[in-house]
Structures are given as C-alpha cells and as structure tokens.
Amino acid sequence: MRSCKLLMGAALAACLAVPSIAQEAVHEGHVPEQAVPSADTGSAASSGATSPAREAMEAANEKMHAAMMLPPGTDADVLFAQAMIPHHEGAIDMARVQLQYGKDPELRKLAEEIIATQEAEIAVLKDWLARQPAAP
C-alpha cells in the first residue's frame, strides 16, 4: 500500500512538472512564433504583426500562467484546486476577449457558456479550499 502511494505521488509530481516545463519553454521563446495562431485570423503570426485581440489574448494567457505557479504543498487535492482556479479564470478572460473582438456566432455562444461554467466551477473550488484545515 505504501509503495502504491509513493508511486501515485511520483506520478502526480511528474504530471504537475510537465506543464510547468512546457510553460517555461513557451515563456522563454522556445516555441516558434509560427506555432502560435494569430488571435484575429487564426493564421500563423509570422509577420510579427499584432492586434488588440492578440494583445488581449496574450495578456490573459500570461496572467493565467503566472497565477498557476503553485505554492508549496504536496496534497494532490489542494494542488488541483489551487491550479484549477487560475486556469478557469484564464479561460474566462480569454472568453471575454472572444466576446469583445470575435464575430463568429458559434464561438461567441461557446465563450458565454465557458464564462458561466467556469465561474460555477471556481465557486466550487474556492468553497472546497475554504473548508480545508489550515496547513501546519
């Protein structure tokens, strides 16, 4: 049983580390600019051109990734809740950018649904965290 818990803990640590490593690579410019779709056209942003929509989407993305840096701790449930809150807040911010700049009715409807569902899930996560005993 103990070895199973250790194995599960190691697996969780590896899963939590991989997104962090990927985020660092993106933030350090290791992802080619052509791999990042343009926010206003969906095409590759190879010209270095920008738009208000792209700038707003990039700002939301950077804010989300900065907020997802986890505080110390090892409890899988707490870490999950702590990481998902800024992740969901980032989805809401991006959905609001879509509503501000996007024109496609289908995507606008999806953005509205994302805002509603993510806000509800954030409330559940915050409530759950508030009910947890304080760490020593």
Quick one: 117 and 51 in the same domain?
yes
Quick one: 125 and 84 in the same domain?
yes
132 φψ region: left (φ > 0), alpha (ψ -120 to 50), beta (else): beta
Q: What is the spatial distance between Cα 56 and Cα 20, in angstroms, rounded to a whole number?
A: 22
Q: What is the spatial distance between Cα 95 and Cα 118, in angstroms, rounded to a whole number?
A: 10
Quick one: 9 and 54 in the same domain?
no
Quick one: 58 and 117 in the same domain?
yes
Quick one: 55 and 107 in the same domain?
yes
Task: Provide the residue-wise pLDDT of the chain in tens; the chain has 136 residues.
Answer: 444 444 344 444 444 444 444 444 444 343 334 444 444 444 444 456 789 999 988 988 888 888 777 878 889 999 999 999 999 999 999 999 999 999 999 999 999 999 999 999 999 999 999 999 875 5
How many CB atoms within 10 Å of residue 111? Answer: 21
Q: Is residue 128 part of a domain?
A: yes
Q: Is residue 40 part of a domain?
A: no
Would you state the pLDDT for residue 74?
A: 84
- Decide if 64 contacts 86 (C-beta within 8 A): yes
Residue 62 contacts by C-beta under 8 Å, 6 or more apart in sequence?
27
Residue 12 corresponds to which tokens in the numbers above? 């969780």
Closest CA to 36 of 64, 60, 57, 15: 57
How many CB atoms within 10 Å of residue 43? Answer: 10
Q: What is the spatial distance between Cα 80 and Cα 50, in angstroms, rounded to a whole number?
A: 34
